[in-house]
Structures are given as structure tokens and as C-alpha cells.
């Protein structure tokens, strides 16, 4: 029985490491390092401090991320929010659901972070840059669907910037 318990603990540790990697990729941060976790914690605190409504799950997710710089089971808490139940109560379907939901939560967190960035003091350059981009798109001769496609492609490429590159952080 002891060997079986140890094997399960090892599997859980590997699973949590896999989910930490998923979060690292989705949040464009190195969550295996203290500096990376501290940067994500600061980002989450900015989101929590912004004016405006946050979905309850996104708020809980941001609260957990705001504690990522401290020792503890923050990764388990994040996975529990994603799966809709504590990790200790998981069954096989919860593992797959967690991976999908983590991506969705990170996307919503990123949207909340962008909104918080615009609201923050110093957000004026962000607003003026957005206005410039929209003016350039409007004068490009592209129809509205093509303009949206350009923005979506740019967002996709921006989301693929590595944690060490420019972008979040």
C-alpha cells in the first residue's frame, strides 16, 4: 500500500509540473523560477486592483496567481479552480478538463490584464497606440473582416513571444 501511495504522489507531482508548464506557456512567464512567479504575482495584483467587474472564477484565479511568489500549493489551487473541484477529489475526466480550462482562464486573465493596463496611470500611450493602429487599419483598404483577421493574427503572434522576449513581464 505504501508503494502505491508513493507512486500516486509521484504521478501527482508530475501532473502538477505539467500544469505549471501549461500555465507558464499561457501566461508567457517562467513559473519554475522565483522571479517568474514574482512577476506573475505582480501582474495578478494589478488585475485584482483594477476597476471593473471580473468573472468570479477569473477573480479567484487572479487571487491564486497573486500568491504564486509565496511558497505553498498555489498550483494545486489554480488547478482546482480550473477543474471545478479540489485536486484531492479528482477523477480521470478532471485531468483533461483542467488543461482546457487553464488555457481559458489564462486567456480571460490576459484580457483582464490588458484592461487593467489601459486603466492604469500611464495607460495613455497604450490608448494612443491603439488609436494609431486602428487608423492605419481603417486606411489600409481592408474590409472589416480582414482588419479583424490582421488583429487576431497579430495577437496570436504576440502570444507566442517567449517569456524571455518582449511582451508580458
Burial 39-50 (b: 16+ CB within 10 A, else e): bbbebbbbbeeb
Report whether pLDDT(167) > 50: no
Confirm if 79 and 21 have CB atoms less than 8 A apart. Answer: no
Contact 22, 103 (CB under 8 A): yes
* pLDDT value at residue 13: 86
Confidence at residue 165, expressed as pLDDT on a 0 to 100 scale: 47
55: pLDDT strictly greater than 80: yes
Query: Is 135's pLDDT higher than 90?
Result: yes
Share of the chain above pLDDT 70, in %: 95
Backbone angles phi, psi at 164, to 5 degrees: -80, -10
CB under 8 Å to 98, separation ≥6 — which residues?
19, 79, 82, 83, 90
Q: Is the pLDDT of residue 163 over 90?
A: no
Q: For 62-81, what is each residue's pLDDT tens digit? A: 999 999 998 778 999 999 99
Mean pLDDT (whole number) for 15-29: 92
* pLDDT score recorded for residue 162: 54
For the chain, state the CA radius of gyration: 19
Question: Of 34 and 118, which is predicted with more confidence?
Answer: 34
> In this model, does residue 2 exceed pLDDT 50?
yes
pLDDT tens digits, 93-112: 999 899 899 999 999 999 99
Give the three-class secondary structure for 155.
Answer: helix
Global confidence as pTM = 0.76
Segment holding 59, helix H or strand E:
helix 56-65
Amino acid at each position: 500500500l505504501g508503494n502505491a501511495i508513493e507512486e500516486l504522489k509521484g504521478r501527482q507531482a508530475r501532473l502538477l509540473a505539467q500544469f505549471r508548464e501549461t500555465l507558464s506557456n499561457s501566461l508567457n512567464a517562467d513559473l519554475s523560477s522565483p522571479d517568474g512567479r514574482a512577476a506573475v504575482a505582480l501582474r495578478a495584483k494589478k488585475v485584482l486592483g483594477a476597476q471593473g467587474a471580473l468573472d468570479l472564477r477569473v477573480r479567484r484565479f487572479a487571487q491564486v496567481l497573486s500568491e504564486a511568489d509565496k511558497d505553498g500549493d498555489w498550483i494545486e489551487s489554480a488547478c482546482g479552480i480550473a477543474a471545478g473541484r479540489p485536486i484531492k477529489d479528482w477523477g480521470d475526466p478532471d485531468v483533461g478538463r483542467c488543461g482546457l480550462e487553464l488555457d481559458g482562464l489564462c486567456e480571460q486573465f490576459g484580457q483582464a490584464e490588458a484592461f487593467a493596463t489601459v486603466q492604469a496611470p500611464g495607460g495613455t500611450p497604450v490608448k494612443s497606440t491603439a488609436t494609431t493602429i486602428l487608423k492605419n487599419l481603417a486606411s489600409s483598404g481592408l474590409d472589416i473582416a480582414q482588419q479583424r483577421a490582421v488583429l487576431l493574427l497579430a495577437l496570436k503572434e504576440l502570444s507566442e513571444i517567449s517569456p524571455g522576449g518582449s511582451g508580458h513581464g
